[in-house]
Amino acid sequence: MGLNYHFLTTLLITITIATTFKLVHTTKTNTEFVKSSCTFTTYPRLCFTSLSTQATLIQASPQLMAHAALNITLASAKSTSAMMVRLSSTRQGRLKPREVSAMRDCVEELADTLDELKKSIGEMARLSGSNYEVYMSDIQTWVSAALTDENTCTEGFEGDDMNGKLKVLVRQRILVIAHLTSNALALINHFAFIHG
């Protein structure tokens, strides 16, 4: 019994070490894939920091990478949209008419962005066979439209007569979403190119 117990313990330890080594190696490989894929984007540092935590889910798949980028962009757009709605209601009496108008327009643009990103994520999950090119074209169009919406939002806050703190806050948040969207579009285009 002592020999069998010792053998099983040694075997279990060996399997645990091998599994841990493989897991660490796989995670490192996945993280390296994310980093190398981010070189195809306009904002590679933001790409890596936003997607490296998803490396295990992304594995080494350009499609999963693009899908994850869309999901992260959507989450950022949702939180910014909620912040904009809160800001516009809590500062109601303190905003100038132009600021109220810019906030309202921006909330509408973000609603369009959310819709376009959700549709893109839905199509990304359905990419397949004969309909691949149609779905991919739709995704690229919607993500490009989302980027346009975000730029339109920031344009509403241009000019010296806008509130300094509000202008800076909104533009910073929208800029992050625009950069995430730009990166997602670059990863989608890269995936489309690879897929051919």
- Work out the average pLDDT over 66-76: 95
Q: What is the pLDDT of residue 20?
A: 47
Residue scoring higher pLDDT (13 or 90): 90
Give pLDDT tens digits for 14-52: 555 544 444 444 456 889 999 999 999 999 999 999 999
- The answer to whether residue 194 scores a pLDDT higher than 90 is no
Q: Which residues, in sequence order, are CB contacts of 82 under 8 Å at separation 6+?
A: none
- Work out the average pLDDT over 75-91: 86
Q: What is the pTM of this model?
A: 0.83
Task: CATH number of the domain at 92, please.
Answer: 1.20.140.40
Among 80, 110, 81, 76, smallest CA distance to 180 is for 76
Cα angle 92, 95, 100 (rounded to 5 degrees) comes to 80
One DSSP character per residue, 27-70 reads: HHHHHHHHHHHHTTSS-HHHHHHHHGGGHHHHTT-HHHHHHHHH
Per the structure, the count of domains in the chain is 1
CA atoms within 13 A on the CB side of 18: 6
Give pLDDT tens digits for 93-147: 677 778 878 888 999 999 999 999 999 999 998 887 778 888 999 999 999 999 9
Kindly state the tokens that stand for 155: 């344009």
Residue 85, domain extent: 2-195
